[in-house]
Amino acid sequence: MQNTMGQRRRILIGAAGIFLLLCFYLFWSSHITCLSESAIAPTFDEGLASTLMGEKYGYINQSGQVVIEPRYDEAHELSDGLAPVRVGFRWNYIDKTGAVKITVNGAELVFPFREGLAPVVVGGKWGFIDTKGNMVIEPKFDDATSFSNGVASVRMGALRGDVDKTGNFVERNR
């Protein structure tokens, strides 16, 4: 009799656990939907905002008119007149008309320009390009941030610090 009661308790606890997990999953998935809807609310940078339209991203102006048709798998804000966009595995920077101005060959990730430079990941390493697409700081960092006040924070192995726009360390932390 004791063994049967123990089995029933374990089954009841197991069923309650599954029920709680299901409730948590349903709550969380509905919460994610709400978050994703608010996350795509347009933020206007330089007069345009990237917006998800169906399954692709395009750009609208402040009147809500589509300025650049939705054709991108990923699209970010304009900065320094350029916006990083991805179609498939290829990253480009486009201007306000949608014309491709820079193609970053072999880039796994690219980010918006700040202070004339943009962090890019090529071959698993971070470097920086200028607004003409020239690699001005070769990809050699394990991690990097965008430039702010003339420096970017980087990590190279155990070495951390700030680099200037030539890639030279101006402050090192260990």
> What is the DSSP annotation of 102-150?
EE-TTEEEE---BTTEEEEEETTEEEEEETTS-EEEEEEESEE---BTT
Q: Looking at residue 78, what is its pLDDT?
A: 93
Instruction: Identify how many contiguous H helices and E strands the chain contains and give both numbers.
Output: 1, 15
Q: Looking at residue 87, what is its pLDDT?
A: 96
**Residue spans of the chain under pLDDT 70:** 1-42, 174
Q: Looking at residue 44, what is its pLDDT?
A: 87
DSSP classification of residue 73: S
Q: Looking at residue 3, what is its pLDDT?
A: 59
* Rg of the Cα atoms in the chain: 23
CATH class belonging to 104-173: mainly beta
Name the 3-class secondary structure at 55.
coil
Between β-strands 135-141 and 143-144, what pairing exists: parallel, antiparallel or unpaired?
unpaired
Q: Looking at residue 113, what is its pLDDT?
A: 96
Q: Looking at residue 38, what is its pLDDT?
A: 38
